[in-house]
Amino acid sequence: MKTAVVLGGGGFIGGHLAKRLKSEGYWVRCVDIKPHEYFNHEDICNDFIVGDLRNYNLVKSALIIGNQGVDEVYQLAADMGGAGYLFTGENDANVMHNSTLINLNVLKVCSEFGIEKVLYTSSACVYPEYNQMDENNPSCVEDSVYPAEPDSEYGWEKLYGERLYLSFRKNYGIDTKIARLHNIFGPMGTYDGGKEKAPAAICRKVVTSTEGDTIEVWGDGKQTRSFLYVDECVEGLRRLMKSEVTTPINVGSEEMISINDFTKMIIRISGKNINIKNIDGPLGVRGRNSDNKLIKQLLGWEPTEKLETGIKKLYQWLENIYQHLEN
């Protein structure tokens, strides 16, 4: 039986990925600083370690079974959140310190114990701000990442992380895979508290609003993004891990939409009559959209699910949560 460790398995994407690996017959260990809030651990893994991956000895114990390193490592653990957490500047030092320390520990253990396959989840935030100033025509082609100018310290940390994994590939022969994720969303993830991403935040606002209410949306609403449903993200990660691809690759959707239109979509799904008020707030870049030419070329695959299909699933999940809370 193959063994896999999902670092960040208590998080949103990590929980879904662990569940997929277990369904494929892997023996799965999840590691996170916190338990998963929504999945039962026995449904997604065989072992769950609650611990701090900034601790080298914890990472060592997590990636070794008996005297051997595990077959596959999926490194999703990071200090992160939505725009309200990442783009205010208030958390930059912790984001850079904590995530970098985790990656250094992971790669040190992998190189010391002969662990050969490691997948690292990078981010679309690595792309330079100067290519994302036009909300109608942003560029996120993989080789456009240099000259580097991410718009946040989170983006710089992710870009450094990519170079770290590529360096350990070059010097230690570790088969590293790097996925640049683009705004992953879906159920079983954070939806309040300040670290939630836009899809969950807006769905929450609509779910908790009543007829005729007004919800606030950061910015002028003309800024654009694409969003990828979590199941398609997991599919992309599994295909990438099984491939011979050696360079960073986008895992995202090309279905770009403005934030105001995205909000209107969620309001339409709700069946409510709700107004939008645009206010000042942390924004990130003006436009961002995945470019899927390379993933189609190298993996022969790209995501196909329509945004509205996935948003309906997220909205229904949140609606059920709030109905349960009311009862």
Tokens of 301: 């695959």
Tokens of 219: 């910015």
- What whole-number distance in Å separates Cα of residue 212 and Cα of residue 272? 8
Cβ atoms within 10 Å of 154's Cβ, excluding its own: 25
Nearest to 11 by CA among 42, 45, 44, 34: 34
The residues, any chain, with a CB within 8 Å of residue 324's CB and separated by 6 or more, are none
**Residues across the chain:** 327
Question: Is 154 an active-site residue?
Answer: yes
Structure tokens at 287: 């436009």
Rounded to 10°, the helix 259-270/307-326 angle is 60
Contacts of 115 (CB under 8 A, 6+ apart): 63, 69, 70, 73, 109, 174
Maximum Cα interatomic distance, the chain, rounded to a whole number of Å: 62
Residues 6+ apart with CB under 8 A from 24: 238
Q: Which of 6, 14, 63 is nearest to 31 (CA)?
A: 6
Residue with tokens 């017959």: 25
- The residue with tokens 């299909």 is 309
- Alpha-carbon distances, residue 177 vs 40, 70, 239, 262 (angstroms): 28, 16, 11, 31
Q: Which of 74, 120, 127, 154 is catalytic?
A: 154
Indicate which residues carry an active-site annotation. Answer: 154
